[in-house]
Amino acid sequence: MKTCALMVALAFALTTQAAVPQADKLPAQLKPVPAQAQAAIWASQLLAHRHYKATPLDDAMSEKIFDRYFKALDGEKLFFLQSDIDQFDGVRNKFDDAIKNENISLPFIIYSAYQQRFSERIGYARELLKGKFEFTADERYQIDREKAAWPKTDEEARDLWRKRVKNDWLRLKLAGKDEKAIREMLDKRYENYETRARKVDGEDVFQTFMNAYATAIEPHTNYLGPRSADNFDIAMRLSLEGIGAVLQSRDEYTVIREIVPGSPAAGSGKLKVGDRIVGVAQADAPQFTDVLGWRIDEVVQQIRGAKDSVVRLDILPADAGPDGKHVTVSLVRKKINMEEQSAKKSIIEVPDGAVKRRVGVISLPTFYLDFEARRRGDKDYKSATRDVARILAELKRAKVDNVLIDLRNNGGGSLTEAIELTGLFIDKGPVVMQRAADGKVEVESDTIPGLAWDVPVGVLINRGSASASEIFAAALQDYGRGLIIGESSFGKGTVQTLVDFDRNAQGEKPRYGELKMTIAQFFRINGGTTQLRGVTPDVKLPVTSDIDNFGESSYDNALPYTVIKAAAYAPAGDLKELISPLQKRHESRIAKDRDFQYLKEDIAEIRKLRKENSVSLNEAVRRKERDDQEARAALREARQAKAGDAAKAKVLAAAKAKRMRQDDGLQADERNLQAELAAEKAAKDAKDIMLHEAANILSDVVGMVKTDTRMASRLMPYMPAKTVGN
């Protein structure tokens, strides 16, 4: 369609309701910039020609973009009316023309309409707080409205918000807050919603729009704006150059939430958790830049900088009032390693009669790799495989009987790391196959002979284990080198590459962002794929995830499951003989384990709430539900406390902390920071039931093969002279 036709259609849509702003009247921070129009053109060319599921940018794609963009803005159907959607229906098939003509005002106009509706709804919510609520009527509040319809009338939308505010009020009332405190707290909460909405800028709007386009093709293609691209890069290399403080927004302040040990922030001795950063200045700047009310990512950008450079902070101490005395802190930026996301080890002792077996645990949150440091030959570059290899050597010296790799909630990362990590557990051979859009299949192999760990390992997975985690788990399962424990994994069997648009631009500071694009599908060496179905565990633990709404199968446009010819590989062992007896031992053990019974009760309660998808707004009903829940929790805590040991005490503390946070009616940034951190620590210190049961299962493996050498030789023919644990 020609440019003039697009503008005519757009003008027609915009005249249907006077409330919708025109492109030339958009706020300055919500107008597109030329770099974004150029980035959209580049992205459209790549998605139409180089994507694994190459899809032309045409009217059909435009309609998909339209639907996904509105869903991204208002997925819970709380702000727009159906008439708003209908009003823009005339441009449903015009997004393709907008991108091709480098006129991307349309998504910004739609966003501005959303922003207006947002302001109206929050304004109405705040107006409701001036009145009172009665909690005797028999009505319910719908929790999840993703599958609901948009309200047809303004009256219907107001009723939705009346119930939402009423539910917020009731939660605080049940937590013991009086009417004055509730009114003030909720008014502040809704004001904060508006404040955060006003901080949205053009980069946010463009990224939301481009992701509506990218994910309309398939779920794992994304556009990353400049800020998101920077953060993605940091997450992959697990390092940045800064001061070593974790920040968060609280009201209008940027608050220090955590200080990284060994960092400049820690070494200064002048900063503490809860301190508020109200100004930032670079070394050569005579004055501070006031950052009160700024977005957190904008404050972070001011504080980050080149290694060995100086940044000055204007600090309002945690224990000072709003008018308290400020403190100036000067810090020299250094390279900060994000050790919280690095591989870590622990040892679990498992009693088996008179014997205590030691199971080494390696927790790996992500498959990280500092690509740039590796490329330039830095001998100390950060790598998941290198860290795991070091930990395996340490566990060997500690004489553990077996090793468990914990990949729960590991969403993936570097494909290279998945292959090299697999290489620590196989001698050499194929690890994964990739099929490109043209059908060509390449086999990715471990070419380095030798094993870092030469007995079968356990791999613990859950629904959050995806991509590189699935490659690793599937390869160890196919080689007979690993026993997979847990629940079925995510089911992401696609490969993405990053295209940095800044490399196409001229000048030092062009900021076009990046496109993370699916270019291939990976397959197990047995010819199957983890796409859609994930990795099925050998020994199944109770399912805790919402599999209907989380995982590849929950996407409406996920690539299908398919099979190709298997790679040429020779299994190193065969663990199938272990599976049935291990599953029986597991089920027998958890049937007697009170912690697991509590877990099953919790899972059943969560599933019940998900199915109901609503809560009563009748105070008497809610009080009874809360009292019943607290009675069950108190009985459980009393039983746990009766045991009297340290582990049970930690479980008890975590249970109490969790219950207090669930029942207080507050959002995370409304709670006392120190109390919130203490509750998080209690939860982290609590016994990890799934992890300990996985260790029990590996202890069973050790016991079974130690007492049956013939079984050991069948399971591990590559180790004829050895048995597990020796």
Structural domain contains residue 593: no
Residues near 35 by Cβ (< 8 Å), separated by ≥ 6? 505, 510, 511, 512
Taking only Cα atoms into account, the Rg of the chain, rounded to an integer number of angstroms, comes to: 28
Residues 366 and 481 in one domain: yes
Residues 195 and 106 in one domain: yes
* Of 725 and 113, more confident: 113
What pLDDT does 658 receive? 56
CB 72 within 8 A of CB 208: yes
The pair of structure tokens assigned to 616 is 């009563």
Residue labelled with tokens 């997975």: 461
How far is C-alpha 617 from the geometric centre of its chain's CA atoms? 31
Structural domain contains residue 715: no
Confidence check: pLDDT of 717 > 70: no
- Give ∠ CA 552-553-556 in degrees, rounded to 5: 95
Structural domain contains residue 553: yes
Domain end residue (candidates: 217, 249, 270):
217
Residues 268 and 333 in one domain: yes
For residue 34, how many other CB atoms are within 10 A of its CB?
9
From 359, 363, 360, 361, select the one nearest 340 (Cα to Cα): 363
Query: In the structure, what pLDDT confidence band is assigned to residue 9 with cuts at 50, 70 and 90?
Result: very low
Predicted confidence (pLDDT) per residue in 362-412, tens digit: 999 999 999 888 999 998 899 999 999 999 999 999 999 999 999 999 999
Confidence check: pLDDT of 14 > 70: no
Confidence check: pLDDT of 645 > 50: no
Confidence check: pLDDT of 584 > 70: yes
Confidence check: pLDDT of 630 > 90: no
Predicted confidence (pLDDT) per residue in 483-492, tens digit: 999 999 999 9
DSSP lists the bridge partners of residue 367 as 413
Structural domain contains residue 227: no
- The CATH number of the domain holding residue 471 is 3.90.226.10
What's the distance, Cα to Cα, between the start and end of the chain in Å? 73
Residues 345 and 329 in one domain: no
CB 297 within 8 A of CB 279: no
What pLDDT does 20 receive? 53
Angle (deg, nearest 10), helices 689-706 and 594-612: 130
Structural domain contains residue 88: yes
Q: How far apart are CA 581 and CA 703, in angstroms?
A: 12
Q: Which domain range does residue 38 map to?
A: 3-217
Structural domain contains residue 658: yes
pTM of the model: 0.90
Residues 673 and 533 in one domain: no
Residues 630 and 618 in one domain: yes
C-alpha count within 13 angstroms, C-beta hemisphere, residue 570: 6
Structural domain contains residue 647: yes
Residues 157 and 200 in one domain: yes
Q: How far apart are CA 95 and CA 21, in angstroms?
A: 18
The sign of the CA dihedral 663, 669, 673, 676 is positive
Residues 468 and 546 in one domain: yes
Confidence check: pLDDT of 443 > 50: yes
User: Could you confirm whether 488 is annotated as catalytic?
Assistant: no
Mean pLDDT (the chain, rounded): 89
Q: Out of 135-139, 534-538, 644-648, which region has the weakest mean confidence (pLDDT)?
A: 644-648
Phi then psi for 226, rounded to 5 degrees?
-50, -45
User: Could you confirm whether 656 is annotated as catalytic?
Assistant: no
The pair of structure tokens assigned to 64 is 């998909």
Residues 443 and 543 in one domain: yes
Say which of 492, 538, 616, 648 is annotated catalytic. 492
Predicted confidence (pLDDT) per residue in 417-436, tens digit: 999 999 999 999 999 999 99
- The CATH number of the domain holding residue 264 is 2.30.42.10
Amino acid at 399: K
Predicted confidence (pLDDT) per residue in 228-243, tens digit: 888 888 877 877 889 9
Residues 261 and 400 in one domain: no
The pair of structure tokens assigned to 366 is 């992500």
What pLDDT does 23 receive? 63
Residues 302 and 420 in one domain: no
Residues near 522 by Cβ (< 8 Å), separated by ≥ 6? 415, 432, 433, 434, 435, 471, 493, 494, 495, 529, 530
Predicted confidence (pLDDT) per residue in 587-598, tens digit: 999 999 988 898
Q: Out of 64-78, 213-227, 319-333, 663-677, which region has the weakest mean confidence (pLDDT)?
A: 663-677
User: Could you confirm whether 352 is annotated as catalytic?
Assistant: no
Q: How far apart are CA 457 and CA 480, in angstroms?
A: 10
Residues 318 and 364 in one domain: no
Q: Is 362 helix (H, G, I), strand (E, B) or coil?
A: strand
Q: How does strand 355-363 pair with strand 344-352?
A: antiparallel
From 490, 501, 555, select the one nearest 529 (Cα to Cα): 490
DSSP state of 21: P
Structural domain contains residue 516: yes
Say which of 96, 168, 478, 538 is annotated catalytic. 478
Domain count, the chain: 4
Amino acid at 719: M
